[in-house]
Structure 1
Amino acid sequence: MSNRVVNLLVPIISIILGLLVGAIVMLFSGYDPVSGYIALWNGIFGDSYAIGETIRQISPYILAGLAVAFAFRSGLFNIGVEGQLMVGWFTAVYVGAAFELPMIIHLPITLLAAALAGALWGLVPGILKATLKVHEVIVTIMMNYVALHVVNALIKTVSGGSYKTDKIQPTASLRSDFLSNLTDYSTLHYGIFVALAMVAVMWFLLEKTKTGFELKAVGFNENASQYAGMNVKKNIILSMVISGAFAGLAGAMEGLGTFGSMTTQGGFTGIGFDGIAVALLGANTPLGVIFGASLFGSLKYGANNMPNAANIPLEIVSIVVALIIFFVASGYIIRVGLQRLNKKKEAK
């Protein structure tokens, strides 16, 4: 069995195992797994509207996954994607509503502003890690809460005490009448192309540039990188800044595409935390993140149809989705099992 066959079988077996165990959970809970999975399938691919909404759901997951994966590749664990996403969302909405400019200028500036806001939020833990060796996990978790409350305060300030910002100008919107009409008036927008473009940017940066080589080298071994003449502190800060920029753009997908505004948040959106799972599912590679985001986004959106179409409670739906993701994330164990099985066959 070649490595190519093993690479193909691992995700397939993982998904099948997840579906089987999820079916057992539904069966023992007194619900029909066949109806449940038909409802899940229809929720994802049932019609053009469902497909459009699923793709729209995938867009911020791709960018959140890239943010986590980029930091991972540089030896850092960015738990602060959620906070960076929120400040990016607010900045995008504010810039999108406050100015009247031609779309060719307004939209790029708004996206850049969101990326810059996320980058600045990532700069703080980057500096503390590089200069004082403060662990980035602790700082980024705290920065999430700071972002939540700062953004809520800013929304009330700019809206004159309201719980919601003004709607963005049409010239800053990612919405598309063409894509919406194509998918039966779904909220699908051009954000998916921005997300895919950032996948290419991350791949090019890490694989084709000197900076990317240094970032990966620092992630593998700081001491060896420093001995080789690399500026470790600079690369740690740069990694967190770029990671934060991806997260800020994930927020822009929600602000400029899906909602067109921002309301005060009673809690976290969850997208940034889900980005950790997306990055892990995608093995922290740009192309893998697309797969992870597609699986995660599809399950998240499609599962909403299971309570309506199959009368399965949301709690059971959450367990089933978590089981599927768990088995996909456990692909390494399945890979080892297949390799051992292959060795036994070769020995015989």
Structure 2
Amino acid sequence: MINPLPKWVDYGLMPLINVTVAFLISGLVVLFVGESPLEAAYLLVKGAFGSGYNLGFTLFYATTFMFTGLAVAVAFHAALFNIGGEGQAYIGGLGVGLVALSLDGTLPWWLTFPLAIIGAALFGAFWAFIPAFLQAKRGSHIVITTIMFNFIAAAVMVYLLSGPLQKSAQLGPRSRDFAEGAQLPKLGGLFEPFGLDMGASPLNITFLLALLMAFLVWVLIWRTRFGYEMRTLGSSPKAAIYAGMPEAKIIIVTMMISGGLAGMMALNPVMGDQARLQLDFVEGAGFVGIAVALMGRSHPAGIVPAAILFGALYQGGAELSFDMPNITRDMILLIQGLVILFAGAMENLFRPGLSRAFSSLSTTKSQDVLPEAGE
């Protein structure tokens, strides 16, 4: 039996070790293609954080991953594997688009934005409700149904953007551009006192919303009765049922909260960057959210830095592939995959050794203290 690790080891040291090993193996891959791993690492960090413009893109991507990571984490705590973040974000984008297209010419952004948040959350929650209901009432596995709903959501968006919402056949499947009333302000001015010029980076006010949602998720899971019921159901379903907790209700409400968070991800690219609704705005963020949640141990305090790490890999990787042509975009995906591998599938690779080390350390300290107590 593996002894539990101290929290600072479980939530801090373990992810750091996993990421370090992933980057060491990535360095071997870089060396294999004839490039310097140290130079590649320098270019990666520089591309992600080397200027205000690059930092703006890193935090822009991180904003998206915070939402999807939080969505996965909420479901994890109730032992639900929500793998449908892609579809929920897609349908959440439809909620954002409908609000923006309807009100962008009549309301300012600060009135449109709260309505778009509600639209994104409601549409995303609805798309998660159906798989949740099927699991709670019919026993359908949540993983299978959420994967299927990803494809259905993509098909729905293709139909709408190629038909009812399409601006012009010549421009492809996309809506018209939003007016100023549905375009979110950028956050460049927030960083100017620190001497950082964000330039034309798409970092926008949704970043602050993502941080707020991380705090609210922490409150929900660890400071509310419903959060306690979620964690109890996730840890011991039999104990939760024996205590009289409504299993079906917890499953449905948890998945709807998870879907609402995934849907809110659409605010960042749709209103904060593209200023229109178009295909492929999710760009795999739903699946990256799984890795972010795993690396962050399903805790908001871990999800935020994990999202920034993956944002850095996206932005720094793009710059790295430009400066080092031998390192293609596929190799950047390989590095991301290694991080996911060690943070997720091989998360327990180093746990037994660390557990034995800390157990021996605790035993040694206890033996040192006992003679002193007997004197």
Is 1:66–1:246's contact at 8 Å kept on the other side of the alignment? yes
Match of 1:153 in 2: 159
| 1:263-282 equivalences in 2 (<5 Å) | 263-265=278-280, 269-282=283-296
Is 2:78–2:234's contact at 8 Å kept on the other side of the alignment? yes
In 1, distance between residues paired with 2:155 and 2:77? 30
Per-residue CA deviation, residues 300-323 of structure 1 (Å, 9 max, x unaligned), is 221111111122222223223322
1:173 Cα shift?
A: 2.5
Match of 2:239 in 1: 224
Amino acid at match of 2:97: V
Per-residue CA deviation, residues 309-343 of structure 1 (Å, 9 max, x unaligned), is 12222222322332244334445332432232344
Per-residue CA deviation, residues 96-134 of structure 1 (Å, 9 max, x unaligned), is 122122333221001110110000000101111111111
Match of 1:283 in 2: 297
Bigger Cα displacement from structure 2, 322-331 vs 156-165: 322-331
In 2, distance between residues paired with 1:256 and 1:96? 8
1:148 Cα shift?
A: 0.2
Per-residue CA deviation, residues 69-118 of structure 1 (Å, 9 max, x unaligned), is 10111111111110000111122122112212233322100111011000
Query: Matched residue of 2:177: which SS?
Result: coil
1:278 Cα shift?
A: 0.8
Match of 1:316 in 2: 331
Match of 1:257 in 2: 272
How many pairs are equivalent?
347
* TM-score, length basis structure 2: 0.86
Match of 1:107 in 2: 113
Matched, 1:131 2:133: no
Cα gap change, 1:71 to 1:346, in 2 (>3 Å): closer
Is 1:83–1:148's contact at 8 Å kept on the other side of the alignment? yes
Amino acid at match of 1:136: I
Matched, 1:79 2:83: yes
Cα gap change, 1:176 to 1:299, in 2 (>3 Å): same
In 2, distance between residues paired with 1:158 and 1:250? 20
Cα gap change, 1:346 to 1:319, in 2 (>3 Å): same
In 1, distance between residues paired with 2:186 and 2:67? 20
Matched, 1:208 2:218: no
Q: Bigger radius of gyration, 1 or 2?
A: 2
| 1:56-95 equivalences in 2 (<5 Å) | 56-95=60-99
Cα gap change, 1:64 to 1:4, in 2 (>3 Å): closer
Is 2:167–2:174's contact at 8 Å kept on the other side of the alignment? no
Is 1:175–1:256's contact at 8 Å kept on the other side of the alignment? no
Is 2:126–2:259's contact at 8 Å kept on the other side of the alignment? yes
In 2, distance between residues paired with 1:6 and 1:231? 31
Is 1:92–1:252's contact at 8 Å kept on the other side of the alignment? yes
| 1:9-24 equivalences in 2 (<5 Å) | 9-24=13-28
Instruction: Using the aligned pairs only, state the percent identity.
Output: 32
Query: Matched residue of 1:129: which SS?
Result: helix
Cα gap change, 1:145 to 1:2, in 2 (>3 Å): closer
Query: Matched residue of 1:158: which SS?
Result: coil
1:160 Cα shift?
A: 5.0
Is 1:303–1:317's contact at 8 Å kept on the other side of the alignment? yes
Query: Matched residue of 2:204: which SS?
Result: coil
Cα gap change, 1:331 to 1:291, in 2 (>3 Å): farther
In structure 1, runs of 5+ residues without a counterpart are none
Is 2:161–2:278's contact at 8 Å kept on the other side of the alignment? yes
Match of 1:297 in 2: 311
In structure 2, runs of 5+ residues without a counterpart are 193-197, 365-375
* TM-score, length basis structure 1: 0.92
- Provide the alpha-carbon RMSD of the alignment: 2.3
Match of 1:185 in 2: 200
Query: Matched residue of 2:152: which SS?
Result: helix
In 1, distance between residues paired with 2:18 and 2:107? 49
Match of 2:123 in 1: 117
In 2, distance between residues paired with 1:346 and 1:104? 55
